[in-house]
């Protein structure tokens, strides 16, 4: 007969953390959220660590190049979605790696023969007050001048005035070259009391801008995740079908870490994919695998050679796998069992394999619970889909700004490779939905708020690091009545804006 678990599986919403002793050192500014993302041997350091325990889901509506840059600036890693052509995914990775920290490609460009009206229309479109004037109006054309908001007065100028008549001409510009370092560029900006510095190549073509305002941004973001060449760290998704072609292209493009994007990881297809990577690249290419929900699945992928292992089936906000197929497990229970298996594997082999809670994160405090239960980091989809930097469109629904959000198993994405069981090359039925999520603004502001909550809760538990939290946390299962008690109740709320579900 079938095997029956003696206890029901639970979600994060059914647990609370119990406060522990907090010393005078337990202040949020003293909390470190650094965490490993690749396996390592006892006494050694992991090849890749993150400064915050957040990675973005491998989804079309989530992980594009803009979000990858923004998340790396905060200290996390985005995994560029793999449900696109190999060439397109490699180019996305390449653009992230070519985006030097502090060096910004120009996305407001105009020709000298265009007019003030064109400048105003461009400013309305992009929101940027600095416009590069290039010969052909492209971001990498030959630089002939710059227009800032101080170079024209709308009330006193004819809208048809050519840009060439009021721009700052090239001969009057202060600029840097491709050899100029970020420190040198910032020194030039400060010494010359200018707000921006164009960077050009040997032929005078525009490459980047360095902005005065970005100096403060980088100073206030010490957790930026950079590789040894000061480039942003970025991940990329792969599948179990075309890995022999996709993996080499992504590695050539500069991907720092890969992850097999699959709804279920306890399969021969994943072991074959990892085996190919190990035979071709040894341990130099880092690859995560999953998803699993129990100790047996973890052990399978650990023995196969995965660098990290993802946990979770059916718990995502747009996932309907449990409804369609009746498989999965409550995410909290899955994390607890896999974390125990990870620790046993570490004691047995001396190799620590980080685990990732993927799905089931509804509230910010669920991140802290997942970490306390043993996860080294969490993967978020809906959370990141709400931000300016996600690839999806911002639309107005019933008078409210929303962002489009769809699952990889939806008819829109048709990512059949993610659900591949070796059959026909098609999506037989949907395992995800097409939906909207409330627009939430910039990634920077929201991630900062969420992680402040995590740090504050860790202080309540007397922990200044994730390993300390996992060692010292006290966790209690709560009743349905306790869950109701935990929210606002028996009062008439004046403003519901502070009492909404984040995800």
- Which amino acids are annotated catalytic? 319, 418
**Hey, is 106 helix, strand or coil?**
coil
Contacts of 381 (CB under 8 A, 6+ apart): 56, 57, 59, 61, 62, 316, 317, 318, 359, 405
DSSP 23-42: -TT--GGG----EE-S-EET
**Hey, is 249 helix, strand or coil?**
helix
Backbone φ, ψ for residue 320 (5° rounding): -120, 25
Helix (H) or strand (E) holding 146: strand 143-147
Task: Please tell me the distance from the alpha carbon of residue 371 to that of residue 339, in angstroms, as a whole number.
Answer: 10
Judge whether 163 and 118 are in contact, CB under 8 Å: yes
Task: Please tell me the distance from the alpha carbon of residue 145 to that of residue 200, in angstroms, as a whole number.
Answer: 12
Task: Please tell me the distance from the alpha carbon of residue 439 to that of residue 387, in angstroms, as a whole number.
Answer: 6
Helix (H) or strand (E) holding 187: helix 182-191
Task: Please tell me the distance from the alpha carbon of residue 140 to that of residue 313, in angstroms, as a whole number.
Answer: 45
* Long-range CB pairs of 6-9, under 8 A, 24+ apart, other chains included: 7/333, 8/330, 8/333, 9/329, 9/330, 9/332, 9/333, 9/334
Tokens of 272: 């074959």
């Amino acid at each position: 007969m079938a095997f029956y678990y003696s206890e029901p599986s639970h979600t994060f919403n059914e647990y609370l953390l119990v406060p522990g002793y907090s010393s005078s050192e337990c202040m949020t500014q003293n909390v470190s959220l650094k965490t490993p993302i690749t396996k390592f041997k006892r006494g050694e350091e992991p090849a890749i660590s993150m400064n915050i325990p957040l990675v973005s889901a491998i989804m079309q509506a989530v992980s594009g190049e803009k979000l990858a840059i923004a998340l790396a600036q905060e200290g996390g890693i985005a995994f560029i979605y793999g449900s696109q052509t190999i060439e397109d995914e490699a180019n996305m990775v390449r653009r992230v790696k070519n985006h030097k920290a502090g060096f910004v490609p120009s996305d407001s460009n105009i020709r000298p023969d265009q007019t003030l009206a064109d400048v105003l229309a461009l400013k309305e479109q992009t929101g940027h007050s600095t416009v590069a004037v290039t010969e052909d109006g492209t971001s990498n054309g030959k630089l002939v001048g710059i227009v800032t908001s101080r170079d024209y007065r709308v009330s006193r100028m004819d809208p048809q005035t050519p840009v060439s008549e009021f721009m700052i001409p090239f001969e009057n510009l202060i600029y840097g070259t491709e050899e100029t370092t970020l420190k040198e560029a910032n020194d030039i900006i400060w010494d010359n009391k200018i707000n921006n510095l164009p960077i050009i190549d040997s032929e005078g073509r525009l490459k980047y801008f360095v902005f005065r305002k970005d100096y403060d941004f980088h100073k206030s973001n010490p957790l930026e995740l950079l590789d040894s060449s000061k480039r942003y760290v970025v991940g990329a998704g792969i599948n179990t079908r075309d890995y022999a072609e996709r993996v080499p292209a992504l590695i050539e493009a500069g991907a720092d870490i890969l992850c097999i994007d699959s709804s279920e990881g306890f399969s021969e297809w994943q072991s074959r994919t990892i085996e190919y990577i190990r035979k071709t690249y040894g341990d130099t290419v880092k690859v995560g695998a999953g998803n699993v929900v129990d100790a047996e699945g973890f052990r399978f992928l650990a023995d196969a050679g995965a660098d990290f292992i993802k946990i979770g089936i059916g718990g995502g906000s747009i996932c309907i796998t449990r409804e369609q197929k009746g498989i999965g497990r409550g995410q909290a229970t899955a994390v607890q069992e896999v974390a125990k298996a990870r620790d046993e594997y570490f004691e047995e082999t001396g190799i620590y394999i980080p685990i990732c809670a993927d799905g089931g994160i509804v509230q910010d405090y669920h991140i802290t619970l997942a970490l306390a239960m043993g996860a080294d980091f969490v993967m978020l989809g809906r959370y990141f889909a709400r931000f300016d930097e996600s690839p999806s469109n911002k639309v107005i629904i019933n008078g409210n700004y929303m962002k489009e959000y769809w699952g990889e198993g939806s008819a829109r994405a048709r990512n059949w490779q993610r659900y591949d069981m070796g059959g026909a090359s098609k999506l037989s039925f949907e395992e995800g939905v097409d939906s909207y999520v409330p627009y939430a603004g910039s990634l920077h502001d929201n991630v900062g708020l969420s992680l402040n909550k995590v740090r504050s809760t860790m202080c309540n538990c007397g922990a200044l690091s994730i390993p300390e939290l996992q060692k010292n946390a006290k966790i209690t299962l709560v009743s349905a009545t306790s869950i109701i008690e935990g929210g606002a109740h028996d009062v008439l709320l004046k403003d519901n804006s502070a009492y909404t579900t984040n995800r």
